[in-house]
Structure 1
Amino acid sequence: MSLLRAEMANWQGSNASSNGTDITIGFTSSAVAVFLFGSNFVPVKKFDTGDGMFFQWILCTSIWIVSLIVNLIQNCPKFWPLAMLGGFLWATGNVTVVPIVKTIGLGLGLLIWASFNLLTGWASSRFGWFGIDPEMVANPVLNYVGAGLSVLSTILFLFVKTDVQSSLSSSESTPILREHSINAYEQRAENQNDESWVDSLSPPRKRIIGCSLAVIAGILYGSSFVPVLYIKDHGRRNGTTYTGASQFDLDYVFAHFSGIFLTSTMYFLIYCAIMKSHPKVYPEAILPGFLSGLLWAIATCCWFLANRYLSAVVSFPIITAGPGFIAAMWGVLVFKEIKGLRNYILLFIAFCVILAGSLSTAFSKV
């Protein structure tokens, strides 16, 4: 009897140690993901990306290369085509990013789409939308309070005014790869051709379009994990197509990122056809775009790990809310997009509200 008790104590100690390790890995992955998601568009901020179609293809190419490396490290796990649907949803939302940044700025744009990303991801996992298993929480009221606070924070973000034009005029100067032999007339013509549809909008229209696109992007981003969760949930059941599917989230990175690359390529080819094989290509944006994709891919891999070690109901609020703070700090301290005491106060209140909402959502699981 004493031997059995000793074995039980050892097992419980080992289990507690394992749980502690899982929590450490989960929160470390979340912290890395938060910082990288909040910073991944910074490398391209000072470079002209035009209408963004060429930039998004470069970014998604970098993302796919990272997934290929991860796939090889994981010894090429089984490829589930359904996981590519999540990549399609994300890439569709990603097409809107450059217009969002050009219309309302990096800080405000990311804050809005992060809020809707949080709400969509939370609701789909909490209520079991799209055929995934609903996440049961110990305190449903606290969970709903967290979701409500997230909605409130989004409303507050809409009142934060950004000054994108002045920041662009000071930082996004003449592209660095122009030929010195181009005469003044040709330079003026090129500048006019390089202008995207965003540049011709009035400030009120920019704000309306930018905020609307940010909402759409957030919904698409928040749905992008659903196919992987669907496969995992049905993998634990007998008699389904996905029975026996891996429960380790990194095993789905290659399929998810392949969906991103194929979708972005499809959009770019459609864009080239619309432009009659004369797409706007910006060579100076290639390396910054590649670096941006690299940062995003690493951040998403960390998010997959956080889902594995913390569960989506905990990682989603943290990773979707946190990057807004990092992005806003870039916007305030470096790009000078957000100015004025009133905006600073609104930002501080919004950060407090979304932080409270994220924590409420996370702790409702405990």
Structure 2
Amino acid sequence: MIYFIVNANIINIVSFFNSTNVTFFAYGLTANIAAVLLYGSTFVPVKKIETGDGMFYNWVSCASIWVVAMLGDIFFQSPKFHPLAMLGGAIWATGSVTVVTIVKAIGLGLGILIWGSSSLLMGWASSRFGWFGIDPQDVSKPVLNYCGAALCLVSGMIFVFVKSDVKLHLEPETVPLLIERVSIPSAAYWIDAVGPKQRRIIGCLLAVVSGLLYGCSFVPILYIKNHSMCPDSAFYGASDYDVDYVPAQTSGVFVASTVYFTIYCAVMKSKPRVYSRVILPGFLSGLMWTVGTYSWFLANNYLTSVITFPIVTAGYGLVAALWGSLVFREIKVRMKTFIFHLFCSSDNLF
């Protein structure tokens, strides 16, 4: 099965290569690789730093995403701002709220592998069947397409059973700002006090939900582009260039994260867990994610999203798994090779 899927993908890439300018292909491939590396390394800066419940870190990284995107907008000179694209950013920010909990529960590598699989499946299903009002995409070989989807589903289920060794780390700054020392509980965050089995179940479930949200986050952009040729549509004449939608999407990320952080502050009675050491790593994470998004959208312009989406979605999971297993020692050695080969095969989904 894997042999035929790989061959089908190779044929698609070769035919694309033969019909496209070599320079454009090189640009697209370079941008795609950059997106994979940046997405897969987004949470590395904060892996060894105490983040508490992660709400402050999430807001800092989302603010960084918006700032970097605004600077990018000055360079790319994006045309009309479409508020609907902000909805995708809000969906992404909703999934991002759970990231710290996932990383603490099951680790960086395994968490991204699981939400990468669910994100890939959601992206495939919404595009293949035309969910959420976007145009369904026809494929030349439906059998191979469905086999690839099934393979991705199986790989995601296998990841759930992969053992990870996540150690709760203690940093010098264990007491957050704005909270009196006498009021600090024994555990900085509720997930730290949960038993290993329950923590694993919670982490896996949150990773699946987060991946589904990530998979939906680009649907509003696709919807706008699909309706850009309809004279009766409010989006008639909208840009077909994905990069033009980054400012609107990141604005949605920042607005939603600010709303969530405000609600969190209210629940905490104006005493949020603010860790000063999170600020710089959080900004770096946001920078990496935004540059990765620009790289991905640029790759779409040169290679088309049919090629880039499965590669990016599966590729950054592989990069995160490498970080988790080789650097942070989270994934057991006996499973490494099997996981990597199985997950790499799922990038032939389309």
TM-score by length of 2: 0.90
Q: How does 1:1-366 map to 2 (within 5 A)?
A: 18-165=20-167, 168-169=168-169, 172-175=170-173, 189=182, 192=185, 195-341=188-334, 344=335, 347-359=336-348, 361-362=349-350
CA contact (8 A) 1:152 1:353 kept: no
Distance 1:54 1:194, change over 3 A: farther
Match of 1:11 in 2: none
Superposed CA RMSD = 2.0
CA displacement at 1:163 relative to structure 2? 1.2
The answer to whether the 8 Å contact 1:145/1:357 transfers is: no
Superposed displacement of residue 338, structure 1: 1.9
Task: Give unmatched runs, 5+ long, in structure 1.
Answer: 1-14, 180-185
Q: 1:21 to 1:126 in 2, by over 3 A?
A: farther
Deviation at residue 239 of structure 1 after TM alignment? 1.9
Cα offset, 1:332, TM superposition: 1.5
| Structure 2 counterpart of 1:3 | none
Q: How many residue pairs were aligned? A: 332
The change in CA–CA distance for 1:252 and 1:51 in structure 2 (over 3 A counts) is same
Deviation at 1:96, TM superposition (A): 0.4
Deviation digits for residues 109-150 of structure 1 (CA, Å, limit 9, x no counterpart):
000000001111111112211111112221111111111110
Distance 1:47 1:211, change over 3 A: same
TM-score w.r.t. the length of structure 1 is 0.86
User: Quick one: structure 1 residues 155 and 17, their matched pair in 2 at CA, closer, same or farther if it must change by over 3 Å?
Assistant: closer
Structure ID, larger Rg: 1
1:339–1:112 Cα change, 3 Å: same
Change (3 A) 1:68 1:178: closer
SS in 1 for 2:296: helix
C-alpha separation in 2, matches of 1:23 and 1:217: 32
Inter-CA distance 110–253: structure 2 relative to 1 (3 Å threshold): same
Secondary structure class of the residue paired with 2:156: helix
**8 A contact 2:62–2:253 mirrored in 1:** yes
1:304-345 per-residue CA deviation (whole Å, 9 max, x = no partner) reads 12222222222111001011111111111211112342xx2x
Percent identity of the aligned residues?
54
| Aligned-pair CA distance for 1:194 | 6.3
Amino acid at match of 2:148: G
Quick one: distance in 2 between partners of 1:269 and 1:173? 26
Q: SS of 2:227's equivalent?
A: helix
1: distance between equivalents of 2:216 and 2:209? 11
Q: 8 Å contact 1:125–1:312 — kept in the other structure?
A: no
Distance between the aligned counterparts of 1:20 and 1:126, measured in 2?
29
Determine the C-alpha separation between the residues in 1 that align with 2:263 and 2:305: 35
Q: How far apart, CA to CA, are the structure 2 residues paired with 1:241 and 1:101?
A: 41
Question: Residues of 2 paired with 1:25 and 1:173: CA distance?
Answer: 42
Alignment partner, residue 8 of structure 1: none
**Secondary structure at the counterpart of residue 253 of structure 2:** helix
The answer for unaligned runs of 5 or more in structure 2 is: 1-16
CA shift, 1:108, in A, is 0.5
| Matched-pair contact (CA < 8 Å) for 1:82–1:227 | yes
Equivalent-residue separation in structure 2 for 1:177 and 1:72 (angstroms): 39
Distance 1:61 1:320, change over 3 A: same
- On the 8 A contact 2:103/2:111 being kept in 1, the answer is yes
